[in-house]
Amino acid sequence: MRLHELSPAPGAVKKPKRVGRGPSSGHGKTATRGTKGQKSRSGGGKGPGFEGGQTPIYRRIPKLPGFKNPFKKVFALVNTDQLNIFENGAVVDPQVLQEARIIKNTKLPVKILGRGDIEKSLTVKAHKFSSSAVRKIEQAGGKVESIK
């Protein structure tokens, strides 16, 4: 059975009765709304947020400050001192960083930051680098390669 083969049981779905279609329909004139009053008018009735006169929830809850920026770029951050666990001459890319449990997932772009010192000569491949990280990696005899 596939999703497009599903259908309700026969007789389970009925079309709504079309009211207000003239006197011969059996629901003419007031179209089953009764006479006068708020609910008999077009657009009448209480709104979706109405709570019987009690202050509605959208007015009881305070407005929260700030907003969430949909354009914010989120990176998996790695500092240069964390790269000291690798052997000299190793190639360090996001996959290797994940296997070493320095970053959690490789779906986020990786940014190398310059906190701490690096003693190993490494080839580091990442999406972004801070200028201090580039300086420290190259001073240690390593190379920096940017991933697009």
**pLDDT greater than 90 at residue 148:** no
Q: What percent of the chain has pLDDT over 90?
A: 87
Residue 11, pLDDT above cutoff 90? yes
Name the one residue in this structure whose structure tokens are 């509605």: 56
| Domain made up of 76-146: CATH architecture | Ribosomal Protein L15; Chain: K; domain 2 (3.100)
Residue 28: the pLDDT is 87
pLDDT band (50, 70, 90) for residue 44: very high
- The DSSP bridge partners found for residue 125 are 145
What is the model's pLDDT at position 41?
Answer: 93
Domains of the chain, residue spans: 76-146
Interval 57-72: pLDDT, tens: 999 999 999 999 999 9
Q: In what order do the strands lie in the sheet with 76-79?
A: 76-79, 110-113, 128-129
Q: Locate the DSSP E strands across 21-129.
A: 76-79, 91-92, 110-113, 123-126, 128-129
Mean pLDDT of 23-44: 91
DSSP letter string over 98-113? HHTTSSS-SSSPEEEE
Which residue from 102, 99, 138, 100 is spatially nearest to 118, judged by alpha carbons?
138
The model's pTM is 0.57
DSSP letter (8 states) at residue 116: S
